Amino acid sequence: MAAGCGQSVRDVNQLRDYYQQEMTPHAAQGVSRQMALEALARVDSRILKSLAERCLKRTHVKMPPPDAAQPGDWCSPITDLLWGHLKDAGRSVPSIGVIYSNLVPLRTSLERWARDGSRHRWNLCDNAGVPLEWVASAAVDTLNIWRPKKRLPKTLTWLDCEMHSYFAAPVFEMQRLVELELEINDIRRPRLSYRAQRKAEREYKSLAKDLNIQRMPRMSLHYFEWYALRTFLGLDLRDIRKRTRANVGSATDHSALSHGIRKVGDLVGFHRQ
């Protein structure tokens, strides 16, 4: 059974550090997207507050009575709502007509929130001006968690959507890989003999090569904050350096900032044009 197909990567010995580059989305991309969202909440708390203010009341979708429901109405529990449903709201389907018309107000509110209406304080859309799929999906899932609460917490956070749970390698082989890594690196275990350690390292490299997997690159949390400020809030590199007090490069050399932003963008899978 492959992790990600009915089984969370977290249930398989914390395998989210591993990923397959050609698989999209892959584990590293999911982890990076969650970290980028969390960084976004740190650098500008107004984004989640705005999500609650603009969209939370819209999640109380007016459901038509069963005898008055039209073929295109959304009649399922609101907890089943996904961004994919909202994207289709108001679309005309030849055999049905307009679908999910009762979801149009919520979709409109989310779209305006993603591009911050006319205020232009943030831009959570792709280069075509459409809300980024993974940001919008996280927003809908987060709203579904907030909706039943009588009172929102003072500090709003994104739902941990486990966007890292993408992995196709066989679980048995992955567990063996983890066991080998512990044998080689875990200081709590008795040290292997030189010969046994070399043997374990050879098996580890061979198995990783056969599975065509990589480890998620370790990157500073500062990179994700720089990425959020540049990509979603539109700050230039000089302003990012001032705001974060980044102790890299110099007042005239921002190449280190640019490098960190590019590295995160590569993993997240989105660069602002």
pLDDT along the chain (273 residues), means of 10: 35 54 74 92 94 90 66 76 88 81 90 84 94 95 89 89 66 80 66 82 87 80 94 93 81 86 93 92
Q: Any idea what DSSP says for residue 99? A: -
Distance, in Å, from the CA atom of 25 to the CA atom of 71, rounded to the nearest integer, reads 33
Q: What confidence tens digit (pLDDT) does each residue in 43-88 have?
A: 999 999 999 999 998 887 776 666 666 667 777 777 888 898 898 8
In which residue are the tokens 């198995």 written? 207
Question: Among 246, 268, 36, which Cα is nearest to 237's?
Answer: 246
Q: Which residue has the tokens 């280190």?
A: 256
Q: What is the pLDDT of residue 227?
A: 97
Work out whether strand 18-19 and strand 92-93 pair parallel, antiparallel, or are unpaired: unpaired
pLDDT tens by residue, 8-22: 333 334 445 677 767
113 vs 107: CA distance, rounded Å? 10
β-bridge mates for residue 2, sequence order: 170
What pLDDT is attached to residue 210? 86
- Do the Cβ atoms of 34 and 160 come closer than 8 Å? yes
| Long-range CB contact pairs, 170-175, < 8 A, 24+ | 170/2, 170/211, 171/1, 171/2, 171/3, 171/7, 171/12, 173/207, 173/210, 173/211, 174/3, 174/12, 174/13, 174/15, 174/18, 174/211, 175/12, 175/13
The pTM of this model reads 0.78
**CA-CA distance, 180 to 165, in Å (whole number)?**
22
Counting DSSP H helices and E strands in the chain, the numbers are 10, 4
Task: Output the six-digit token pair for 114.
Answer: 């993603």
Q: Which residues are CB-contacts of 38 (< 8 A; sequence separation ≥ 6)?
A: 157, 158, 224
